Amino acid sequence: MTDPRVSPPGTDGERAALEAWLTFHRETLAWKCAGLTPEQVGLRSVPPSTMSLRGLVRHMTEVERHWFARVLTGRPGQWLYWATDDGDFEFGDADDPATAWPADLARWRDEIAASTAVAAGMQLDDVGAETDHGFPVTLRWVMLHMIEEYARHNGHADLLRELVDGATGD
């Protein structure tokens, strides 16, 4: 697997570093899914887990939308996948993977573009319009949280990719 990611520079300012690390981790998830069939990205880990690469992409789509659109801008919006009381609903594969996977991937990329646009219009110390977990958060906090969220799930993605075809890499 050829690594298409660009390593974040070590001497940039805070904002550039946060943006570079968030981009790096977003692209890591994309890299883990690259070249796989819809069936392969739907392969689940170890029962009873329903986690799959496709499920991780769906989950991160919801996470992007939640933090950037809902929390930072206050825009209400429908959940794209999380439609039940099941906290892991987005990891399920109720749809036909052959048609749903390309749409899932496009939706995730669209949410990333929307999130990037929201961040571009804010300063790091700007406080979001909504609260989450009972306290207000800044753009800086959201970006750090998103880096952590992607990093954690990229560890899962690495294991899932290895399960699919043996490919590994950070």
pLDDT 10s digit of each residue in the chain, 170 long? 788 888 888 888 999 999 999 999 999 999 999 999 999 999 988 878 889 999 999 999 999 999 999 999 998 878 888 765 555 555 555 566 667 899 999 999 999 999 999 999 999 999 998 876 788 999 999 999 999 999 999 999 999 999 999 888 77
Q: Which of 10, 18, 11, 13 minimizes the C-alpha distance to 140?
A: 18
Sign of the torsion angle spanned by Cα atoms 54, 55, 57, 62: positive
pLDDT reported for residue 46:
82
- Predicted confidence at residue 137, as pLDDT, reads 95
Q: Which domains does the chain have, with CATH numbers?
A: 33-165 (1.20.120.450)
Query: Token pair for residue 72?
Result: 């930072």
Task: Give the pLDDT of residue 158.
Answer: 95
Please state the φ and ψ torsions of residue 3, each to the nearest 5 degrees. -85, 115
Number of alpha carbons in the 13 Å side-chain half-sphere of residue 19: 15
